[in-house]
Structure 1
Amino acid sequence: MSSPSSARIIRHPSHHQVRQGTPGAYRLVRTLPDRLDPPRLDARQRAVVDHRSGPLLVLAGPGTGKTTTLVEAVAARVAEGADPTRILVLTFSRKAAVELRDRMALRIGAARAPQATTFHSFCYALVRAHQDADLFVEPLRLLSGPEQDVAVRELLAGQVDLAREGRAHIRWPDELRACLTTRGFADEVRAVLARSRELGLGPAALNDFARRSGRPDWGAAASFLAEYLDVLDMQGVLDYAELVHRAVLLARRPEVARALGAQYDAVFVDEYQDTDPAQVRLLHALAGGGRSLVAFGDPDQSIYTFRGADVNGILEFPYAFPRADGTPAPVEVLTTSRRSGAQLLAATRLVTRRMPLARLPADKVRVHREPTPVRDGGRVEVYTYPTAGTELDNIADILRRAHLEDGVPWSDMAVLVRAGARTIPAVRRSLSAAGVPLDIDGDDIALRHEPAVVPLLSALRVVATAVLEEAGASEEGTSEEGISEGGAPGEDASEADASGGDAPEASGEGAREGDVSVGDALEGGVSDRDVSEGRVFEADASEQAISEGDASERHAPEEPGAPRTEVTTAPAWLGTETALTLLTSPLAGMDAADLRRLGRALREEERAAGNHLPPPSDELLARALAEPERLVAHDPTYARGAQRLGALLRKARERLAGGGTAEEALWELWDGTPWPKRLERTARRGGAAGRNADRDLDAVCALFAAAARAEERTGGRGALNFLEETEAQDIAADTLTRRAVRPEAVRLMTAHRAKGLEWRLVVVAGVQEGLWPDLRRRGSLLEADRIGRDGLAEPLTPGALLSEERRLFYVAATRARERLVVTAVKAPADDGDQPSRFLTELGVEPKDVTGRPRRPLSVSALVAELRATTVDPRVSETLREAAAQRLAKLAALGDADGRPLVPSAHPYRWWGMYEPTASEVPLRDRDKPVVLSGSALDQLANTCSLQWFLGREVKADAPATAAQGFGNVVHVLADEVASGRTPADLAVLMERLDSVWDALAFDAPWKSSQEKEHARVALERFLQWHVMDRASRTPLASEHGFDVTLGAGPYEVRVRGSMDRVEQDAEGRAYVVDFKTGKQAPTAADVARHPQLAVYQLAVREGAADDVFGGVRPEPGGAELVQLRQGAAKKNGGDALPKVQAQEPLSGEWIGDLLATAAGKVLDERFTPTAGQHCAHCAFRASCSARPEGRHVVE
Structure 2
Amino acid sequence: MTEPIESGHVDGYSRTVPELAAIISPDTSPTPEQSAIIGAGLEPTLIVAGAGSGKTETLSMRMVYLLDHGERLFGRPISPDEILCLTFTRKAAAEIAERAAARITSVFGADPARPPVSVATYNGYAASLVAEHGLRLGTDPDAATLTDAALWQIADAVVSQWSDPVDTAASVSTLTRAVSSFAAQTREHLTTPFEVRDWARGTLDGLAALPGARGGTALVNANGNPTPEANALKQLTTLIDLAPMAHEFLRRKREGSYLDFSDQVAYGVALADLDTVQAIERSRYRVVLLDEFQDTSPAQLRLFARMFGADHPVMAVGDPNQAIYGFRGASASALSAFVEQFGGAEHVSRRSLSVSWRNEAAVLAAANMVASALPEQGAVRVEPLRSTGQYLGRPEPRRAAPGVVAHMAQDLSDEADAVAAFIVARRREIGRSGVQPTAAVLCRRRSQFGSIVEALAKAGLDYEVVGLGGLIDTPEVAELIALLQVAHDPSRGDSLMRLLAGERIALGPRDLMALKDWSDHDADRSPGADRSVPGLREHARTIVDGLDSLPGPAWVSREGRSFTPEGLARLATLREVVRAIRQHTYLSLTETIAFAERAWCLDIEAEVSRPDGRASRNVDAFLDAARTFAAGAERATLGAFLAWLDAARDEERGLTAPVKEPEPGAVQVLTCHSAKGLEWDIVAVPGLTQGASTRGRSQFPSGAVPTVVSEDGRRRIMVKDSGWMSEAGQLPYPLRLDRDDLPPLDLGDVVDRASLKEAIEDFKAEAGAHRVDEERRLFYVALTRARSHVLLSGSWWTAAASRSAPSLFLAELRDAGVVDDTSWAPEPAEDAERPVREPAMALWPGPPSAEQATRRDLAARVREALDAREQPATAWEDLPFGRDIEAMLAERARRGGPAAAVPMPGHLTASHLVAMRRDRDAFARQLRRPVPQEPTLASARGTAMHAWIEAHYGHPTLWEPDAMLADDGDDGDDIAALRATFEASEWAGRQPSDIEVKVEMPLGGVTIRSRIDAVFPPGQGLDKVTVVDWKSGAPPPDADERAAREVQLAIYRLAWSAWKGIPLEEVDAAFYYVGADTTVWPERLLERDEIVALLRGE
What's the TM-score, normalizing by structure 1? 0.50
Structure 2 residue 357 is the aligned partner of structure 1 residue 438 = no
Q: Which residue pairs with 2:45 in the alignment?
A: 56
Partner of 2:262: helix, strand, or coil? Answer: helix
Which amino acid counterpart does residue 89 of structure 2 have in structure 1? S
Q: Which residue pairs with 2:420 in the alignment?
A: 396
Alignment counterpart, residue 621 of structure 2, candidates 686, 702, 719: 702
Alignment counterpart, residue 803 of structure 2, candidates 805, 825, 832: 832
Q: Which residue pairs with 2:699 in the alignment?
A: 771
Structure 2 residue 439 is the aligned partner of structure 1 residue 413 = yes
Moved more, 456-465 or 703-712: 456-465
Rounded to whole Å, the distance in 2 between the matches of 1:353 and 1:665 is 54
How big is the shift at 1:205?
4.0
8 Å CA contact 2:150–2:632 kept in 1: the answer is no
Deviation string for 1:761-808 (max 9, x for gaps)? 222211113222235444324662342459896345333222222222
Query: What is the 5 A alignment of 1:975-1124?
Result: none
Rounded to whole Å, the distance in 2 between the matches of 1:346 and 1:136 is 51
Partner of 2:676: helix, strand, or coil? Answer: coil
8 Å CA contact 2:467–2:658 kept in 1: the answer is no
8 Å CA contact 1:333–1:367 kept in 2: the answer is no
Alignment counterpart, residue 772 of structure 2, candidates 784, 795, 802: 802
Partner of 1:291: helix, strand, or coil? Answer: coil
Structure 2 residue 366 is the aligned partner of structure 1 residue 336 = no
Rounded to whole Å, the distance in 2 between the matches of 1:415 and 1:383 is 15
Structure 2 residue 613 is the aligned partner of structure 1 residue 664 = no
8 Å CA contact 1:762–1:820 kept in 2: the answer is yes
8 Å CA contact 1:670–1:676 kept in 2: the answer is yes
Rounded to whole Å, the distance in 1 between the matches of 2:339 and 2:559 is 81
Change (3 A) 1:222 1:390: same
Q: Which residue pairs with 1:179 in the alignment?
A: 169
Deviation string for 1:360-415 (max 9, x for gaps)? 26xx5456789954452473221212212211112211111222344276651222
Rounded to whole Å, the distance in 2 between the matches of 1:212 and 1:791 is 19
Structure 2: state its 5+ residue gaps.
1-22, 70-76, 106-111, 206-235, 491-511, 532-539, 691-697, 703-718, 745-765, 827-849, 855-1098
Rounded to whole Å, the distance in 1 between the matches of 2:517 and 2:299 is 50
Change (3 A) 1:186 1:436: same
8 Å CA contact 1:260–1:286 kept in 2: the answer is yes
Q: Which residue pairs with 2:669 in the alignment?
A: 748
Change (3 A) 1:278 1:230: same
8 Å CA contact 1:57–1:294 kept in 2: the answer is yes
How big is the shift at 1:676?
2.8
How big is the shift at 1:624?
6.7
Query: What is the 5 A alignment of 1:341-740?
Result: 341-360=360-379, 364-366=381-383, 372-374=390-392, 376-377=396-397, 379-407=403-431, 412-418=438-444, 420-445=445-470, 447-460=471-484, 494-496=519-521, 575-576=545-546, 642=573, 655-657=584-586, 660-671=587-598, 675-680=602-607, 683-684=610-611, 690=612, 693-694=613-614, 696-729=615-648, 730-731=650-651, 739=660
Q: Which residue pairs with 2:188 in the alignment?
A: 198
Structure 2 residue 814 is the aligned partner of structure 1 residue 811 = no
Structure 1: state its 5+ residue gaps.
1-34, 164-171, 467-486, 504-517, 519-569, 580-598, 629-641, 685-689, 853-898, 904-1195
Change (3 A) 1:848 1:836: farther
Partner of 1:494: helix, strand, or coil? Answer: helix
Rounded to whole Å, the distance in 1 between the matches of 2:617 and 2:335 is 39
How big is the shift at 1:56?
0.9
Query: What is the 5 A alignment of 1:71-470?
Result: 71-78=60-67, 82-108=78-104, 112-131=115-134, 139-145=142-148, 147-148=150-151, 151-152=154-155, 155-156=158-159, 158-159=161-162, 161-163=163-165, 177-181=167-171, 192-203=182-193, 205-207=195-197, 209-210=199-200, 213-214=203-204, 217=237, 218-322=239-343, 327-360=346-379, 364-366=381-383, 372-374=390-392, 376-377=396-397, 379-407=403-431, 412-418=438-444, 420-445=445-470, 447-460=471-484
8 Å CA contact 2:84–2:118 kept in 1: the answer is yes
Partner of 2:413: helix, strand, or coil? Answer: helix
What's the TM-score, normalizing by structure 2? 0.54
Which amino acid counterpart does residue 811 of structure 1 have in structure 2? V
8 Å CA contact 2:150–2:631 kept in 1: the answer is no
Q: Which residue pairs with 1:785 in the alignment?
A: 733
How big is the shift at 1:721?
3.9
Which amino acid counterpart does residue 54 of structure 1 have in structure 2? E
Partner of 1:748: helix, strand, or coil? Answer: strand
Change (3 A) 1:92 1:221: same
Moved more, 790-799 or 409-418: 790-799
How big is the shift at 1:278?
0.9
Rounded to whole Å, the distance in 2 between the matches of 1:790 and 1:62 is 25
8 Å CA contact 2:411–2:796 kept in 1: the answer is yes
Which amino acid counterpart does residue 665 of structure 1 have in structure 2? T
Change (3 A) 1:98 1:768: farther
8 Å CA contact 2:526–2:541 kept in 1: the answer is no
Rounded to whole Å, the distance in 1 between the matches of 2:483 and 2:523 is 31
8 Å CA contact 2:689–2:806 kept in 1: the answer is yes
8 Å CA contact 1:248–1:278 kept in 2: the answer is yes
8 Å CA contact 2:86–2:122 kept in 1: the answer is yes
Which amino acid counterpart does residue 621 of structure 2 have in structure 1? A
Rounded to whole Å, the distance in 1 between the matches of 2:144 and 2:335 is 31
How many residue pairs were aligned? 666
Deviation string for 1:187-208 (max 9, x for gaps)? 5655544443222112454355
Change (3 A) 1:742 1:328: farther
Partner of 1:834: helix, strand, or coil? Answer: strand
Rounded to whole Å, the distance in 2 between the matches of 1:131 and 1:282 is 15
Deviation string for 1:982-1032 (max 9, x for gaps)? xxxxxxxxxxxxxxxxxxxxxxxxxxxxxxxxxxxxxxxxxxxxxxxxxxx
Greater relative contact order (Cα 8 A, min sep 6): structure 1 or 2? 2
Rounded to whole Å, the distance in 2 between the matches of 1:497 and 1:676 is 34
Change (3 A) 1:435 1:265: same
Change (3 A) 1:698 1:373: farther
How big is the shift at 1:706?
2.5
Cα RMSD over matched residues?
Answer: 4.6
Structure 2 residue 836 is the aligned partner of structure 1 residue 847 = no
8 Å CA contact 2:468–2:657 kept in 1: the answer is no
How big is the shift at 1:243?
2.8
Change (3 A) 1:327 1:679: same
Change (3 A) 1:780 1:134: closer
Partner of 2:787: helix, strand, or coil? Answer: strand
Deviation string for 1:123-159 (max 9, x for gaps)? 2232233456999999534443455456546545554
Which amino acid counterpart does residue 365 of structure 2 have in structure 1? A
Which amino acid counterpart does residue 412 of structure 1 have in structure 2? T
8 Å CA contact 1:786–1:794 kept in 2: the answer is no
Alignment counterpart, residue 32 of structure 2, candidates 40, 43, 55: 43
8 Å CA contact 1:193–1:225 kept in 2: the answer is yes
Partner of 1:757: helix, strand, or coil? Answer: coil
Structure 2 residue 14 is the aligned partner of structure 1 residue 66 = no
Which amino acid counterpart does residue 635 of structure 2 have in structure 1? G
Change (3 A) 1:810 1:850: closer
Rounded to whole Å, the distance in 2 between the matches of 1:714 and 1:153 is 11
8 Å CA contact 1:341–1:817 kept in 2: the answer is yes
